């Protein structure tokens, strides 16, 4: 494999959870190319399973898609070095009002490898205890309870398209 070398990285914009960069790259044929790069601190997601086997999902509006989506509870790390299981436990309780008695790592997912370094750690949450939601001021999340087969059907019919949700549900279904 021929060497690719970054010559320069320039910050173009800094948002609340992302940093947008333009990288000047020397590619194997000797040419110079400009590549976009989005830096993300990372995130965690949870597959919460009730004793009766139903999964606890969240329904929320996603501005980028201009529609509501059904997803696994998830959120960004507070800091890049925050343990992903700590983030997963926090997001589970904030978004769903459930606390996990046990969290087990399932899978890691790089969300968009072409231009972003985001990695999401996905965990199985069991021994759930009901508490209460603690949503952020700008969050509006409905809790939805679904059977595993119902979610698999939604994945394969194209109703669920969120990558972390698909990866988490399929990983859980495989290990179940």
CATH number for the domain harbouring residue 97: 3.90.79.10
For residues 32 and 63, state if they share a domain. no
Assigned token pair, 75:
């959120």
Do 144 and 120 lie in one domain? The reply is: yes
Tell me the pLDDT of the chain averaged across its residues: 95
Q: Are residues 81 and 121 in the same domain?
A: yes
Active-site residue (options: 137, 139, 147, 150): 137
In this structure, the answer to whether residues 24 and 52 fall within a common structural domain is no
98-110 and 32-40 strand pairing: unpaired
| 101, 160: one domain | yes
In whole angstroms, how large is the CA radius of gyration of the chain?
Answer: 18
Supply the pLDDT for residue 16.
84
Residues 119 and 67 in one domain: yes
Same domain, 17 and 60: no
* Same domain assignment for residues 113 and 93: yes
Burial annotation 159-171 (CB, 10 A radius, 16+ → b, else e): ebebebbbbbbeb
Domains held by the chain: number:
2
**Tokens 């494999």 sit on residue:** 1
Q: Is residue 137 flagged as an active site residue? A: yes
Say whether 8 sits in a helix, a strand or coil. Answer: strand
d(CA 18, CA 105): 25
Question: 62: domain range?
Answer: 41-175
Q: Measured between alpha carbons, how far is 31 from 5 in angstroms, rounded to an integer?
A: 11
Domain shared by 88 and 139, yes or no: yes
User: In the predicted model, is pLDDT for residue 34 greater than 90?
Assistant: yes
Same domain, 104 and 164: yes
Q: Can you give the pLDDT at residue 17?
A: 83
Taking the C-alpha atoms of residue 43 and residue 102, their distance in angstroms, rounded to an integer, is: 19
142 pLDDT more than 90: yes
Same domain for 121 and 50: yes
Q: Which residues, in sequence order, are CB contacts of 150 under 8 Å at separation 6+?
A: none
User: Do 24 and 87 belong together in one domain?
Assistant: no
With cut-offs at 50, 70 and 90, classify the pLDDT of residue 37: very high
Q: How confident is the model at residue 97 (pLDDT cuts 50, 70, 90)?
A: very high
pLDDT for 10-27, tens place per residue? 999 999 889 999 999 999
């Amino acid at each position: 494999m021929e060497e690719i070398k970054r010559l320069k990285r320039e910050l173009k914009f800094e948002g609340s959870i992302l940093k947008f960069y333009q990288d000047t790259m020397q590619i194997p044929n000797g040419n110079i190319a400009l590549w976009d790069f989005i830096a993300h601190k990372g995130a965690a997601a949870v597959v919460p399973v009730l004793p009766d086997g139903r999964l606890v999902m969240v329904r929320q509006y996603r501005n980028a898609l201009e529609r509501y989506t059904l997803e696994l509870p998830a959120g960004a790390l507070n800091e890049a070095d925050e343990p992903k299981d700590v983030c997963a436990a926090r997001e589970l309780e904030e978004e769903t009002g459930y606390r996990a008695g046990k969290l087990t790592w399932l899978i890691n997912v790089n969300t968009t490898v072409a231009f972003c370094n985001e990695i999401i750690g996905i965990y199985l949450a069991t021994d759930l205890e009901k508490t209460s939601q603690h949503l952020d001021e700008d969050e509006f999340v409905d809790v939805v309870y679904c059977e595993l087969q119902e979610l698999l059907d939604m994945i394969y019919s194209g109703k669920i398209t969120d990558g972390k949700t698909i990866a988490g549900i399929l990983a859980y279904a495989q290990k179940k």
